[in-house]
Amino acid sequence: MNLSYREKSLWIDLIATLVIAFYYAFALSGFSGEQIADIRAVMDLLWDVVVFGILVSIFSAIALSYHDSKAADAPLDERENLAELKATQYGYWVLLVGITAPVLLYGLESGGRDEMGLNLPPFATLHVMVAFYILAEILVSANQLWRLRQGL
């Protein structure tokens, strides 16, 4: 399978995002009740996720551009632009839900928590937003790859 520079970059982004998602979920599931309520533990986890994502993006861009510098500098063609536009549109909708859901969750958490019998973990809104952000990134990369492979 002959992959273009853009497809290689998208595959690396997709794999890195999946690794980040599994790491975040695994680390969060291993938190004790005290850790999940501790802002420092939660922020340390988020810091690890952000730093790993940035480092993978930087090193993959450097490695790919070193391997094929001409393709790295080339502008997107119409097909790549359309694939990116459509994939980003779907990712936008996931992010829209990902922002709306935590706002509603926050309202339930702060206003009617006792009356409704909700037992939400601390920082639940933060974790929901992070999960939807990761889901949107996975969707954008996967959709863009699918569109490029299909020639759409």
84-114: pLDDT as tens digits = 888 889 999 999 998 898 888 777 766 655 5
Of 136 and 69, more confident? 136
Of 30 and 111, more confident? 30
Across all residues in the chain, what is the average pLDDT?
83
Q: Which helix (H) or strand (E) holds 36?
A: helix 33-37
CA–CA separation, 18 and 42 (whole Å): 19
Give the model's pLDDT for residue 105.
72
For residue 130, is pLDDT > 60?
Answer: yes
For residue 117, is pLDDT > 70?
Answer: no
Q: What 3 state SS string does the chain have? A: CCCCHHHHHHHHHHHHHHHHHHHHHHHHHCCCHHHHHCHHHHHHHHHHHHHHHHHHHHHHHHHHHHHCHHHHHCCCCHHHHHHHHHHHHHHHHHHHHHHHHHHHHHHHHHCCHHHHCCCCCCCHHHHHHHHHHHHHHHHHHHHHHHHHHHCC
The amino acid present at 60, given as its one-letter code, is: S
Give the model's pLDDT for residue 96.
92
CA–CA separation, 113 and 85 (whole Å): 40
pLDDT tens digits for 54-76?
898 888 888 888 877 666 667 77
Give the model's pLDDT for residue 71.
67
For residue 127, is pLDDT > 90?
Answer: no
Radius of gyration of the chain (CA): 19
Give mean pLDDT, residues 39-50. 90
